Chains A and B, each alone.
Chain A
């Protein structure tokens, strides 16, 4: 167990060290949480088309396993005012269809061949 220095008869010399330890212990989680927040902050804002596409992609991956998703992208990229954005490969409606489809339907629809062009990468020792 961690001793938080509660004993009342501690000497004067121990008190500052114990107080410092308590303050460090108090501050540490704040920094951990801040770090965690920064780490998980790639871009503020969720987009429904991205979330639905990712969920559909996870569905496709689970149905087409062990084939590997290489060609399907669910990232929205804003190219500025002069160029159209890059949209996720599956729209919200398409994602809904995939999420509710059976694995056999997903395979029959060609997702396991169209999007999963090759086997998962094993080693980098091709040559």
Chain B
């Protein structure tokens, strides 16, 4: 099984497990005596996003697909700000076709209004790039994203267009940033 397939399988499993864990938490957590006006059906907000990403590494352009899941306990909301977690799997290729990928997890802070959302996230994980013939080379990865966009509320769902700009710090001998924009379609379940 190659890297791409493996990472997509991992992302799918992660999404399934997040859903299962969320439902478990919902069932195990007693309801407050009187819910707020918004009265969400679940205690956890789940989101799934998939889209295209661009990166530049040492001046080499990279195009990629990013799949990410988000999870946020609605009880932790402070005004418009909702803290949570995210996990991202990115698979792509350089201009000359070398495979590139990352796996990241980390905290995420999102501010929401009815039709817009925006926020910041910080991820930690691993970044790799395939050699032309041989094993991949890689590095630990510390990433920061700024994201935002419009959303269409559909009951307890929201369909959103998420634009983001990401910078990934790759420490080491030639420490550098891989950075670039991304655009994704996001579905959120509250």
Q: Which residues of A come within 8 Å of B, CB atoms?
A: 2, 4, 6, 19, 22, 25-29, 32-33, 36-37, 39-52, 54-55, 57-59, 61-62, 69, 74-75, 99
Contact = CB atoms under 8 A, between A and B. Distances in A.
Nearest to B94: A55
A33 B95 CA distance: 27
A6 B60 contact: no
Contacts, number: 120
Query: What is the interface of chain B mostly: helix, strand, loop, or mixed?
Result: mixed
A50 B174 CA distance: 10
Contact of B17 (A25, A52, A75): A25
Contacts of B139: 44-46
Contact of B96 (A28, A42, A99): A99
A40 B136 contact: yes
B60 A51 contact: yes
Interface in B8-36: 9-10, 13-14, 16-17, 19-21, 23-24, 27
Nearest to A49: B174
B62 to A, nearest CB: 10
B57 interface: yes
A41 B138 contact: yes
A36 B7 contact: yes
Nearest to A51: B58
A41 B126 contact: yes
Given A26-B20, A46-B139, 20 more contacts: A4-B24, A22-B20, A22-B21, A28-B17, A29-B13, A29-B16, A32-B13, A33-B10, A40-B126, A40-B138, A45-B171, A45-B173, A46-B172, A46-B176, A48-B58, A48-B176, A50-B137, A69-B132, A75-B134, A99-B60
B125 A37 contact: yes
A45 B140 CA distance: 7
B6 interface: yes
B133 interface: yes
A25 B19 CA distance: 10
B189 interface: no
Contact of A33 (B27, B101, B103, B127): B103
A117 B169 CA distance: 39
A19 B23 CA distance: 11
Nearest to B134: A75
Given A6-B27, A55-B94, A42 B132 contact: no
B19 A4 contact: yes
A40 B126 CA distance: 8
A28 B132 CA distance: 32
B128 interface: yes
